Structure 1
Amino acid sequence: MELLYKSTRNSDTTVTASQAILKGLAEDGGLFVPTMIPKLDAGMDELAGMSYQETAYAVMKQYLTDFTEEELKSCIARAYDEKFDTEEIAPLKKEDGVYYLELFHGATIAFKDMALSILPHLMTTAAKKNHISNEIVILTATSGDTGKAALAGFADVPGTRIVVFYPKSGVSPIQEKQMVTQKGDNTFVVGIRGNFDDAQTGVKKIFGDKDLEKEMASAGFQFSSANSINIGRLVPQIVYYVYAYAKLYAAGDIKNGEEINVVVPTGNFGNILAAYYAKNMGVPIRKLICASNENRVLYDFLGTGTYDRNREFILTTSPSMDILISSNLERLLYRIAGEDDSKNRQMMEALVKDGRYEITEDMKEKLADFYGNYATEAETADEIAGLYRKTGYVLDTHTAVASRVYRKYAEETGDTAVTVIASTASPYKFTRSVMDAVDKKYDAMSDFELVDELNKISGVAVPRAIDEIRNAPVLHDTVVDAADMKDTVKKFLGI
Structure 2
Amino acid sequence: MEYISTRNKTISISSSEAIIQGISKDGGLFVPTSIPKTDNIMDLKEMNYKELAFAIMSKFFTDFEPSALKNCIDKAYDNKFSSQEIAPLVRAGDAFFLELFHGPTLAFKDMALSILPHLLKEAISINEIDKEVVILTATSGDTGKAALEGFANVDGIKIIVFFPEDGVSEIQKRQMITQEGNNTFVVGINGNFDDAQSGVKEIFNNSDFVNLLDKNNYIFSSANSINIGRLIPQIVYYFYSYLTLLRQRSIKDNEKINIVVPTGNFGNILAAYYAKEMGLPVNKLICASNENNILTDFINTGIYDKRRELILTSSPSMDILVSSNLERLLFHISGYDDIFIRNKMDELTKLGYYKIDNLNLEDFYGSYSTEEEVSFSINKVFAENSYLIDPHTAVAYNVYEKYRLETHDNTKTIIASTASPFKFGTKVASSINIDARNKDEFNIIEELANKANIKIPKAIASLKNKEVLHKNNCNKEDMKDLISEFLKVGEVND
- State the TM-score bracket (shorter-chain normalisation): over 0.9
Q: Is the 8 A contact 2:434 2:448 kept in 1?
A: no
Q: Is the 8 A contact 1:383 1:400 kept in 2?
A: yes
Find 2:327's aligned residue among 317, 326, 330.
Answer: 330
Measure the CA separation in 2 of the matches of 1:15 and 1:114.
Answer: 25
Find 1:251's aligned residue among 248, 268, 273.
Answer: 248
Q: 1:16 is matched with which residue?
A: 14
Give the residue type in structure 2 aligned to 1:233: R
Q: 1:477 is matched with which residue?
A: 471
Measure the CA separation in 2 of the matches of 1:46 and 1:281.
Answer: 14
Measure the CA separation in 2 of the matches of 1:440 and 1:278.
Answer: 40
Find 2:417's aligned residue among 406, 420, 423.
Answer: 423
Q: 1:370 is matched with which residue?
A: 364
Aligned pair 1:224/2:210, yes or no? Answer: no
Shift of 1:454: 1.7
Find 1:90's aligned residue among 87, 90, 103.
Answer: 87
Shift of 1:13: 2.0
Q: 2:266 is matched with which residue?
A: 269
Instruction: Give the total of aligned pairs.
Output: 489
Measure the CA separation in 1 of the matches of 2:442 and 2:462.
Answer: 12
Find 2:5's aligned residue among 4, 7, 25.
Answer: 7
Q: 1:138 is matched with which residue?
A: 135
Measure the CA separation in 1 of the matches of 2:121 and 2:208.
Answer: 25
Q: 1:489 is matched with which residue?
A: 483
Aligned pair 1:31/2:52, yes or no? Answer: no
Measure the CA separation in 2 of the matches of 1:172 and 1:338.
Answer: 40
Find 1:125's aligned residue among 116, 122, 126.
Answer: 122
Q: 1:76 is matched with which residue?
A: 73
Q: 2:313 is matched with which residue?
A: 316
TM score, norm. by length of structure 2:
0.98
Q: 2:102 is matched with which residue?
A: 105
Q: Is the 8 A contact 1:383 1:403 kept in 2?
A: yes
The secondary structure found in structure 2 opposite 1:189 is strand
Give the residue type in structure 1 aligned to 2:63: D
- Could you tell which deviates more after superposition, 455-464 or 205-214? 455-464
- Could you tell which deviates more after superposition, 436-445 or 47-56? 436-445
Shift of 1:457: 1.8
Q: 1:279 is matched with which residue?
A: 276
Q: Is the 8 A contact 1:52 1:88 kept in 2?
A: yes
Aligned pair 1:466/2:454, yes or no? Answer: no
The secondary structure found in structure 1 opposite 2:437 is helix
Aligned pair 1:235/2:235, yes or no? Answer: no
Measure the CA separation in 1 of the matches of 2:112 and 2:311.
Answer: 28
Measure the CA separation in 2 of the matches of 1:440 and 1:343.
Answer: 51
Q: Is the 8 A contact 1:398 1:425 kept in 2?
A: yes
Measure the CA separation in 1 of the matches of 2:41 and 2:267.
Answer: 25
Q: Is the 8 A contact 2:37 2:279 kept in 1?
A: yes
Aligned pair 1:167/2:164, yes or no? Answer: yes
The secondary structure found in structure 1 opposite 2:137 is strand
Q: 1:390 is matched with which residue?
A: 384
The secondary structure found in structure 2 opposite 1:343 is helix
The secondary structure found in structure 1 opposite 2:223 is coil
Q: Is the 8 A contact 1:290 1:370 kept in 2?
A: yes
Measure the CA separation in 2 of the matches of 1:46 and 1:158.
Answer: 39
Measure the CA separation in 1 of the matches of 2:37 and 2:444.
Answer: 46
- Could you tell which deviates more after superposition, 454-463 or 120-129? 454-463
Q: 1:182 is matched with which residue?
A: 179
Give the residue type in structure 2 aligned to 1:378: E
Measure the CA separation in 1 of the matches of 2:164 and 2:31.
Answer: 28
The secondary structure found in structure 2 opposite 1:165 is strand
Measure the CA separation in 2 of the matches of 1:13 and 1:481.
Answer: 34
Measure the CA separation in 2 of the matches of 1:181 and 1:377.
Answer: 29
The secondary structure found in structure 2 opposite 1:442 is coil
- Could you tell which deviates more after superposition, 313-322 or 464-473? 464-473
Shift of 1:404: 0.2
Deviations along 1:147-204, one digit per CA (max 9) or x if unpaired, are 0000000000000000000000000000000000000000000000000000000000
Measure the CA separation in 2 of the matches of 1:10 and 1:192.
Answer: 32
Q: 2:492 is matched with which residue?
A: none
Give the residue type in structure 1 aligned to 2:147: A
Q: Is the 8 A contact 1:96 1:391 kept in 2?
A: yes
Q: 2:439 is matched with which residue?
A: 445
Give the residue type in structure 2 aligned to 1:343: F
Q: 1:202 is matched with which residue?
A: 199
The secondary structure found in structure 2 opposite 1:235 is helix
Q: Is the 8 A contact 2:186 2:470 kept in 1?
A: yes
Q: Is the 8 A contact 2:133 2:220 kept in 1?
A: yes
Deviations along 1:130-163, one digit per CA (max 9) or x if unpaired, are 0010000000000000000000000000000000
Identity %: 55
Superposition RMSD on alpha carbons, in Å? Answer: 0.7
Q: Is the 8 A contact 2:160 2:184 kept in 1?
A: yes
Mark the runs of 5 or more structure 1 residues left unpaired by the alignment: none
Mark the runs of 5 or more structure 2 residues left unpaired by the alignment: 490-494
The secondary structure found in structure 2 opposite 1:443 is coil
Shift of 1:462: 1.3
Q: Is the 8 A contact 1:47 1:243 kept in 2?
A: no
Q: 1:49 is matched with which residue?
A: 46
Find 1:381's aligned residue among 375, 379, 388.
Answer: 375
Measure the CA separation in 2 of the matches of 1:291 and 1:102.
Answer: 17
Give the residue type in structure 1 aligned to 2:458: R
Measure the CA separation in 2 of the matches of 1:412 and 1:45.
Answer: 32
Give the residue type in structure 2 aligned to 1:217: D
The secondary structure found in structure 2 opposite 1:470 is helix
Shift of 1:440: 4.8
Measure the CA separation in 1 of the matches of 2:356 and 2:184.
Answer: 40
Give the residue type in structure 2 aligned to 1:370: F
- Structure 1 stretches of 4+ moved >6 Å: none
Aligned pair 1:354/2:359, yes or no? Answer: no
- Could you tell which deviates more after superposition, 142-151 or 435-444? 435-444
Give the residue type in structure 1 aligned to 2:318: M
Measure the CA separation in 1 of the matches of 2:333 and 2:385.
Answer: 41
Measure the CA separation in 2 of the matches of 1:127 and 1:388.
Answer: 46
Q: 2:404 is matched with which residue?
A: 410
Measure the CA separation in 1 of the matches of 2:435 and 2:216.
Answer: 55
Measure the CA separation in 1 of the matches of 2:350 and 2:33.
Answer: 29
